Amino acid sequence: MTDCSHCPVGDSAICAGLSADALECLGHLGRKQKVRRGQTLVWEGDEALVVANVISGILKLSISTADGREQIVGVVFPSDFIGRPFGKESPHSVTALTDAELCVFTRAAFDGFARQHPDLQNRLLMRTLTELDRARHWMLLLGKKTASERIASLLLEVSDRMGNGAAKAAAGLPEVFEMPLDRQQMGDVLGLTIETVSRQLTKLKGAEMIDLPNRRTVVIQDRARLQTLALAA
């Protein structure tokens, strides 16, 4: 059982907009679960037994290629929803990139709840459409953009999703975040080699668009120029 009324991501999660009574009912169906970095919650191809809201932390979605390599197909952030309601098997594995906390529901219980709440079904539909738009964006990113444009796009998206980067920039506050992906994982997401990722990050640092105090910390120094680069194609 969870207390949905005090959920830190309640205003933006899939359950946002539900009535207090509905949230209380949903809370009886869910449980909080901590996931350690590197732990896999769901395996590709397994029966889809659970769905979850991400409360904190960052996780990756990945599939296995024909030659056995891992291909990262998405990254989920706090308030994102994991799983496939009304689906029978998981299309990808879900693994924690950082320590994370989730609100987990059995798929059967969540499906039953959703059938009784059309507004939640509408939000699930909107989520599906958003995922399609995001997939189209990444197809464009991989198909037409240069390596530097891909890196710029990824840095801006992670900053916005992790640390509300655009709002910080508008308020004149520094944009600093911990990149959840290592260089190899960034390359996997963007279709680049690890050498190209490292070279492009160094190039952006030399141009004073970003700073890299260490291997994980990123400081966006010039958002306007980084956005211009990301939108160049």
Dump pLDDT digits (tens) for 11-63.
778 888 888 888 888 888 989 999 999 999 999 999 989 999 999 988 988 88
Name the residue with higher pLDDT: 14 or 164. Answer: 14
- The position carrying tokens 């987990």 is 104
Amino acid 112: pLDDT: 92
225 pLDDT tier (thresholds 50, 70, 90): very high
The pLDDT of residue 142 is above 70: no
User: Which domains are present in the chain?
Assistant: 4-140 (2.60.120.10), 145-230 (1.10.10.10)
pLDDT band of 151, cuts 50, 70, 90: very high
Q: Average pLDDT for residues 169-179, to the nearest whole number?
A: 81
Put residue 17 in one of left, alpha, beta given phi > 0 → left and psi -120 to 50 → alpha.
left
Stretch 103-123: mean pLDDT, rounded? 90
To the nearest whole number, what is the mean pLDDT of the chain? 87
Specify whether the CB–CB gap between 183 and 231 falls below 8 A: no
Say what percent of the chain tops pLDDT 90. Answer: 38
> pLDDT band for position 6 (50/70/90)?
confident
Question: Is the Cβ–Cβ distance between 102 and 33 less than 8 Å?
Answer: yes
Residues 6+ apart with CB under 8 A from 33: 52, 101, 102, 103, 104
- Residue 5 clears pLDDT 80, i.e. is over it: no
